[in-house]
Amino acid sequence: MESNLRSLILLLPLLAFMGVMVAISVFVRHKQAGKNFVSSYFVGNRELGGFVLAMTTVATYSSVSSFVGGPGMAFQVGFGWVYMAVVQVTAIFLVLGIFGKRVALLARKLNAVTVVDIIRARFQSDFLAAVAAFVIVLFFCGTMTAQFVGGAKLFAAVTGYSYEAGLILFGLTVVIYTSIGGFRAVALTDTCCAIMMMIGIVLLLKYVLQAGGGYENIMTTLEVSNPELFEPFSFGNMPWTIYFTQWLLVGICTIALPQSVVRGISYKNTQGLHQAMLIGTIVVGFMNIGINFTGILAHGVLSGTAADYGGVDNIIPTTIVTAMPIELVGLAIIGPLAASISTISGLLIVASSAIVKDVYLHWAEKKNRTVTPARVKFLSMATTAVIGAAVFVIALTPPSLIWLINMFAFGGLETAFFWTLLLGLFWKHANKLGAMLSMTGGTIIYCATQAAGFKIMNLHQITIGITCSLILFLIGSYLGKRSDDETLKIFFP
Amino acid sequence: MKKNNRALNDAQKFSLVRREAIYTGLALVGLIIFWLVAGFGTASLDVKIFHIPLWAVLGTVGVWLVAIFISALLSQKLFTDMDLEGDDDGK
């Protein structure tokens, strides 16, 4: 009886939250009825305001690893990890400042609704567009699987329910609400998720401080017992190579992630963009510093090492269970789960648009085939559901080394899109051959070095991928034919 | 943010956007330098604020505050409001 009551207390907040997510998507679908389906489903009819734009960009960017693996590492490494993680404060103002307006202007000129639309128009290549769509779907599936697995493991560890139950509860919910509501629903639910993430951090911090006997007590103890936490290299646990590669992997190169760049197509006006740059930077910094600092303070609650609790991934779940009252545990894990589902929904809608809009609709247009609006609607929702369901099935038997797969996918997307977008949109001499060599060659080299475990100076393979991708782009642009004047007039008027 | 009261043509808009992207890139360089100096640059100092070493305070909260300042400077002072519709959109 008591056990049933405990289960109910744990599940109620989660069920309520998931119910709200689905209700939002149904409401959005109802409100969008009668509008251009493709535009409303894939970019929300370019109607996002500043606050929602900021929150959806932050929420899609912040994954479950930011809330579980990251603070677990901060527990082990100390302030060096927070110092490294804070580089993520650049992510929002960089992507919106560099690509936000340019992509918005181009999307309106070209009637584009996806990043691949813009790449196709810039380089006049269906092949490159197909490769870009393939790369998006491939790497997004990897990232989504990691989110599903991370979220379900957290759910199981905290609530005591099975991994599968967690997967069904939040995995199916995210697939359903994304399929029904499309981008607009994703943006609104992301906003709810980001707010819940912040509430979760504040709650956890409060109870960790309380359970640890107060800030003064925790820090005084740590200064004596764990001096390595106060040293930037953490007595060798944080080599400079991690700092360097993290600047690339989760800082600078994130500007080219398609799921972030597509936000530039979706907002209403430049006032909204300017607001979003500021709000997004405030929020992403609060989340990163807040949750990682909480990871360090968790020493006040957990007396052993990370290994004693089954590794760094178990630090936050164990801390939640240990420090928080039972009636708030369900509420507290909404934060990390929200990070997971907001990333999945953001990726799912872009992956779906890559297949339906960038491949199928473009093919139909070239073949002069008429696709009825009803068919487009059915295909879009079905494709979103099928991709989500496929990833869901993969996550049922979780592959090992899931966090490495997540980072692998992040690096692959950055290698493929960084120079293609940056040079393609800002350099007149960028051409089709350069973009093709960069995207295909760079991605293949990146994947090959990952598979072989080959590293230079022990740096993450993103450094090899991004360097080769640049060299190939420059060689191709030097050897290849210049883009035609008509295209250049659109992109560089 | 700068208000733009005159209608801009496409060339002017793209030129402005290019300039804003350069400002953003320069802001990034500035923030990286601050991050290096604030963190590694002060790591040898034996100063603590609320039990946290100075390098950690400046390298985390300090970097965050500077990033907020940069975002405000870019979005409120250096970036220009503009109509996103082009000269011949949809034609």
Q: What is the mean pLDDT of residues B56-67?
A: 97
Using a CB-CB cut-off of 8 Å, the residues of chain B touching A277 are 71, 74-75
Identify the band that residue A478 occupies on the pLDDT scale cut at 50, 70 and 90.
Answer: very high
For the four alpha carbons of B1, A43, A88 and A254, in that order, the dihedral sign comes to negative
Say yes or no for a CB contact (<8 Å) between B68 and A281: yes
B48: part of which helix (H) or strand (E)?
strand B48-49
Predicted pLDDT at A436: 96
Q: What is the mean pLDDT of residues A445-469?
A: 93
Window B:19-78, CB contacts with A under 8 Å: 20-21, 23-25, 27-28, 31-32, 35, 39-40, 43, 50-53, 55-56, 59-61, 63-64, 67-68, 70-72, 74-76
Residue of A nearest to B40 (CA): A232
Say yes or no for a CB contact (<8 Å) between B79 and A274: yes
Q: What is the mean pLDDT of residues A311-325?
A: 89
Residue ranges of E strands in A136-257: none
Q: How many CA atoms lie within 13 A of A272 on its CB side?
A: 24
Q: What is the mean pLDDT of residues A136-154?
A: 87
Using a CB-CB cut-off of 8 Å, the residues of chain B touching A98 are 21, 24-25
How many Å lie between the alpha carbon of B80 and the closest alpha carbon of chain A?
A: 8
**How far is Cα A278 from Cα A93, in angstroms, rounded to an integer?**
7
Using a CB-CB cut-off of 8 Å, the residues of chain A touching B18 are 102, 426
Predicted pLDDT at A35: 75
Say yes or no for a CB contact (<8 Å) between A83 and B88: no
Say yes or no for a CB contact (<8 Å) between B64 and A86: yes
For chain A, which residues make up each domain, given as ranges? 2-400
In chain A, the percentage of residues whose pLDDT exceeds 70 is 98
DSSP string for residues in B55-91: HHHIIIIIHHHHHHHHHHIIIIIISB----S-TTTT-
Nearest residue to A145 via CA among A56, A65, A66: A65
**How far is Cα A160 from Cα A467, in angstroms, rounded to an integer?**
46
How many Å lie between the alpha carbon of B87 and the closest alpha carbon of chain A?
A: 9
How many Å lie between the alpha carbon of A390 and the closest alpha carbon of chain B?
A: 37
Judge whether residue A382 has pLDDT over 50: yes
Predicted pLDDT at A250: 87
Say yes or no for a CB contact (<8 Å) between B13 and A83: no
Position B4 in a domain: no
Are A450 and A461 spatial neighbours (Cβ–Cβ below 8 Å)? yes
Question: Is the pLDDT higher at A156 or at A229?
Answer: A229
A-B contacts at Cβ under 8 angstroms: 139
Most A CBs within 10 A among B60, B70, B88, hence the mutation to make, goes to B60
Position B85 in a domain: no
CATH number of A2-400: 1.20.1730.10
Say yes or no for a CB contact (<8 Å) between A105 and B14: yes
In chain B, the percentage of residues whose pLDDT exceeds 90 is 79
- Dump pLDDT digits (tens) for A38-72: 778 887 778 889 999 999 888 888 877 788 888 99
Q: What is the mean pLDDT of residues A120-130?
A: 93
- Dihedral (Cα; A261, A265, A270, A276), 10-degree rounding: -50
Candidates B67, B75, B84; nearest CB to A274: B75
Residues across chain A: 493
Predicted pLDDT at B91: 42
Judge whether residue B88 has pLDDT over 60: no
Place of tokens 């507290």: A332
Candidates A109, A274, A280; nearest CB to B1: A274
Pairing of strands B48-49, B52-53: antiparallel
Position B84 in a domain: no
Say yes or no for a CB contact (<8 Å) between B59 and A86: yes
- Dump pLDDT digits (tens) for A269-286: 999 999 999 999 999 999
Candidates A90, A105, A280; nearest CB to B28: A90
Identify the band that residue A6 occupies on the pLDDT scale cut at 50, 70 and 90.
Answer: confident
Are A197 and A60 spatial neighbours (Cβ–Cβ below 8 Å)? no
**Is residue A373 packed enough to be buried (19+ CB in 10 Å), middle (13-18) or exposed (0-12)?**
exposed
Q: What is the mean pLDDT of residues A136-140?
A: 89
Identify the band that residue A400 occupies on the pLDDT scale cut at 50, 70 and 90.
Answer: low
Predicted pLDDT at A16: 92
Predicted pLDDT at B90: 47
B52: part of which helix (H) or strand (E)?
strand B52-53
DSSP conformational letter for A398:
P
Its domain, for residue B18, covers: 10-78
Question: Is the pLDDT higher at A33 or at A53?
Answer: A53
Identify the band that residue A77 occupies on the pLDDT scale cut at 50, 70 and 90.
Answer: very high
- Structure ipTM: 0.93
Say yes or no for a CB contact (<8 Å) between B32 and A247: yes
Domains contained in chain B, number: 1
Residue-averaged pLDDT of chain A: 89
Judge whether residue A337 has pLDDT over 90: no
Going from the C-alpha of A88 to that of each of A25, A281, A354, the distances in angstroms are 29, 9, 27
Going from the C-alpha of A227 to that of each of A64, A89, A292, A295, B60, the distances in angstroms are 28, 27, 17, 16, 18
Predicted pLDDT at A99: 95
Nearest residue to A463 via CA among A405, A418, A431: A418
The residues near A214 (Cβ < 8 Å, ≥ 6 apart) are none
Are A290 and A71 spatial neighbours (Cβ–Cβ below 8 Å)? no
- Dihedral (Cα; A480, A138, A248, A312), 10-degree rounding: -170
Say yes or no for a CB contact (<8 Å) between B79 and A90: no
Question: Is the pLDDT higher at A114 or at B40?
Answer: B40
Say yes or no for a CB contact (<8 Å) between B63 and A86: yes
Residue of B nearest to A248 (CA): B32
- Dump pLDDT digits (tens) for A175-196: 888 888 888 888 898 899 889 8
Question: Is the pLDDT higher at A60 or at B18?
Answer: B18
Structure-token pair, residue A277 = 């740059």
Going from the C-alpha of A94 to that of each of A15, A51, A108, A205, A361, the distances in angstroms are 36, 17, 21, 29, 32
Predicted pLDDT at A402: 59
Q: Which of A95-99, A472-476, B1-5 has the lowest mean pLDDT?
A: B1-5
